């Protein structure tokens, strides 16, 4: 089992988008197809060109990524068949090594994401309504020690 | 209409940035199309998509820019064309902040609007106005955290000197203290503090003081209904010797007499509300 974390390249876009879409659908069952379609365009056109993104290669294939804007974790997604192997932790370790304290937002309904963040050591800052989806969003903070 | 206003979390940023704000006009039938912007000693950096143009007018002068831009300190009241839909994030800098950020030449130009490439300005590879604007309405804390991150390296390059240090002290006193007393309190001659102030803020102390008081007065009037305003009381409260002085001051600064202003209520605060209370 070989995991490698490296900087994102434009040629990773398809693999990154695929991991985003599969994992997003699993974690956010409340999202409509329309909402996901629009977000997918945003990920490709707005988020990826403007974030500091790192990908996780597992056995030579890109299986997931973490997108950073400073210490803000804009996104971390991983192919569901790669969950539970410590790959997400390695991606987060990369972000933590670069920025120390980290902040992230997660839908309250996203139990997969919330379990991951809470195990990593993120703590709740606040909870609020996300109007486009009508869902509650949690803002979390990780304090480096 | 959506809006918010939040403060930077990092002290090194708060030293120069007073607040971040957001404003979105979502449909054509909301708001008044030509709100006015009262004089302001602070510079605002406006983040906008490139496809949107903005017009600022005063007297016979009109300035139009597309995309992100600076609104430098202005002594005139601007009329803005807000007839189209728009979505903007503002970064409000403290009075005189640009002096310390190597933008000295810019602030000499009062009443100026200037297009700006923010990515280049702050030297950040990951800055994206589009990203921030896409998320701004819903994720204000995230947007502010990202702005803190983006601005920090740039603001850490700031340079303070004896003039900016002195002005920082003057600004703490300016609103409540007479210009003569400020010199005494800071153990400097009148001439020295005036010169440093003009150099850093691009305006005289008297001008900035008048703008601060005008802003305070407008915030106060905003909370009152037309019929509830006692102008003699307002004049007294905001340091005018009598009502005619207040009338002349308003006419000169926002181009309206108190009575016609109270009727029309066409300043940005009237159209978009006082962000503080949102």
In A, minimum Cα distance to B152 occurs at A70
CB contact under 8 A, B131 and A52: no
Tokens 């994720």 found at: B139
Which residues of chain B are within 8 Å of residue A41 when distances are taken between CB atoms? none
Condensed to tens digits (0 to 9), the pLDDT of residues B183-202 reads 999 999 999 999 999 999 99
A59 sits in which H/E element: none
Looking at per-residue pLDDT, the higher value among A16 and B223 belongs to A16
> pLDDT tens digits for B74-127?
999 999 999 999 999 999 999 999 999 876 555 567 899 999 999 999 988 778
Q: Please name the member of A46, A69, A130 whose beta carbon is closest to the beta carbon of B146.
A: A69
Res B138: pLDDT: 87
Q: What is the pLDDT of residue A131?
A: 86
**The two three-digit tokens of residue B135, written as one number:** 């998320």
Do residue B150 and residue A69 have CB atoms under 8 angstroms apart? yes
Rounded to the nearest angstrom, the minimum Cα separation between A62 and chain B is: 22
Give mean pLDDT, residues B29-39: 87
Give the pLDDT band of residue A2 (cuts 50, 70, 90): confident
Give yes or no for A142 touching B (CB within 8 A): no
B155–chain A nearest CA distance, Å: 15
* Residue A111 CA to its chain's centroid (Å): 13
Mean of pLDDT values over A130-136: 90
Closest CA to B269 of B224, B206, B237: B224
- Domain of A109, CATH number, reads 3.40.630.30
The minimal CB distance from A46 to the residues B125, B134, B146 is found for: B134
In chain A, what residues touch B49 (CB-CB under 8 Å)?
Answer: none
Residues in chain A within 8 Å Cβ distance of B150: 69-70
* Separation CA B35–CA B97 (nearest Å): 26
The shortest CB-CB distance from B138 to any of A68, A103, A132 is to A132
At residue B104, the pLDDT reads 54
CA distance B7 to B146: 13
What count of other Cβ atoms lies within 10 Å of the Cβ of residue B117? 11
Band (A8; pLDDT cuts 50, 70, 90): very high
Asked if the Cβ–Cβ distance from A69 to B149 is below 8 Å, we say yes
Mean pLDDT over A75-95 rounds to 95
Based on the structure, what is the number of domains in chain A? Answer: 1
Residues of chain B with Cβ-Cβ distance to A71 below 8 Å are 145, 149
Report the percentage of chain B scoring pLDDT > 90: 67
What are the distances in angstroms from CA B99 to CA A101, B59, B200, B204?
Answer: 31, 28, 5, 15
Q: Is A126 on the interface with B (CB under 8 A)?
A: yes
B142 and A50 in contact by Cβ < 8 A?
A: no
Q: What's the pLDDT score for residue B272?
A: 83
Q: What is the mean pLDDT of residues B120-136?
A: 87
**Helix (H), strand (E) at residue A66:** strand A61-69
| A131–B134 C-beta distance less than 8 A | no
Q: Please report the pLDDT score of residue A142 as a whole number.
A: 97
Return d(Cα B20, Cα B10) in angstroms, integer: 13
Identify residues of B whose CB sits under 8 angstroms from chain A CBs: 125-128, 130-131, 134, 137-139, 141-142, 145-146, 148-150, 152
Is B142–A72 a contact, with Cβ atoms under 8 angstroms apart?
yes
Q: What is the mean pLDDT of chain B?
A: 90
For residue B105, the model assigns a pLDDT of 56
pLDDT band at B278 (very low <50, low <70, confident <90, very high): very low
What is the C-alpha to C-alpha distance for residues B89 and B52, in angstroms, rounded to an integer? 13
Average pLDDT, chain A: 94
pLDDT tens for each residue of B198-251: 999 999 999 999 999 999 999 899 888 888 999 999 999 888 888 999 999 999
Surface-to-core class of residue A144, CB atoms within 10 Å of its CB (0-12 exposed, 13-18 middle, 19+ buried): exposed
Determine whether the interchain pair A71/B149 forms a contact, defined as Cβ–Cβ distance below 8 Å.
yes
pLDDT at B241: 87
In what order do the strands lie in the sheet containing B78-80? B36-37, B78-80, B53-58, B61-66
Please indicate if any CB of chain B lies within 8 Å of the CB of A52: yes
How many whole angstroms separate alpha carbon B222 and alpha carbon B253? 17
A100 in contact with chain B, both atoms CB, cutoff 8 A: no
Q: Which residue reads 């294939």 in tokens?
A: A61
Distance from CA of A52 to the nearest CA of B (A): 7
Q: Average pLDDT of A103-130? A: 95
Q: Which domain holds residue A134?
A: 3-142
Q: Is the pLDDT of residue B277 over 50?
A: no
Confidence of residue B46 (pLDDT cuts 50, 70, 90): very high
pLDDT band at residue B276 under the 50/70/90 scheme = low
pLDDT above 70: percentage of residues in chain B: 96
> What integer pLDDT is reported at residue B103 of this predicted model?
64
């Amino acid at each position: 089992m070989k995991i490698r974390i490296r900087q994102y390249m434009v040629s990773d876009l398809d693999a990154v988008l695929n991991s985003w879409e599969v994992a997003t659908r699993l974690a956010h069952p409340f999202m409509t197809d329309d909402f996901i379609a629009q977000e997918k365009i945003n990920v490709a056109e707005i988020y990826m060109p403007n974030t500091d993104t790192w990908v996780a290669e597992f056995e030579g294939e890109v299986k997931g990524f973490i997108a950073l804007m400073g210490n803000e974790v804009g996104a971390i997604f991983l192919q569901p068949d790669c969950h539970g192997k410590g790959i997400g932790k390695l991606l987060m370790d990369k972000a933590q090594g670069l920025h120390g304290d980290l902040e992230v937002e997660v839908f309250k309904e996203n139990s997969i994401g919330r379990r991951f963040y809470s195990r990593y050591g993120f703590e709740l800052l606040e909870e609020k309504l996300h109007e486009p989806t009508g869902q509650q969003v949690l803002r979390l903070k990780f304090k480096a020690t | 209409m959506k809006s918010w206003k939040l403060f930077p979390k990092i002290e090194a940023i708060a030293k120069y940035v007073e607040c971040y704000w957001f404003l979105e006009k979502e449909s054509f039938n909301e708001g008044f199309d030509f709100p006015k912007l009262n004089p302001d000693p602070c510079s605002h950096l406006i983040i906008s998509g490139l496809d949107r143009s903005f017009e600022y007018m005063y007297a016979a002068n009109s300035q139009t820019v597309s995309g992100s831009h600076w609104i430098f300190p202005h002594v005139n009241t601007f009329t803005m064309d807000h007839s189209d839909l728009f979505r903007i994030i503002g970064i409000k800098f403290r009075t005189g902040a640009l002096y310390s950020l190597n933008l000295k030449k810019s602030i000499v130009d009062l009443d100026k609007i200037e297009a700006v490439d923010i990515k280049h300005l702050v030297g950040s590879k990951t800055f994206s106005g589009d990203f921030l604007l896409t998320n701004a309405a819903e994720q204000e804390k995230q947007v502010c955290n990202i702005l803190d991150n983006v601005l920090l390296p740039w603001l850490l390059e700031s340079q303070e000197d004896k003039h900016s240090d002195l002005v920082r002290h003057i600004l703490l006193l300016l609103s409540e203290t007479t210009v003569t007393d400020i010199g005494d309190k800071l153990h400097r001659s009148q001439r020295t503090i005036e010169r440093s102030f003009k150099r850093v803020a691009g305006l005289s102390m008297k001008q900035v003081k008048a703008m601060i008081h005008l802003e305070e007065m407008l915030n106060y009037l905003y909370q009152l209904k037309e019929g509830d305003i006692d102008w003699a009381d307002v004049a007294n409260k905001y340091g005018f010797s009598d009502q005619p002085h207040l009338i002349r001051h308003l006419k000169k600064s926002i181009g309206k007499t108190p009575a016609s202003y109270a009727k029309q209520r066409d300043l940005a605060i009237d159209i978009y509300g006082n962000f503080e209370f949102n």
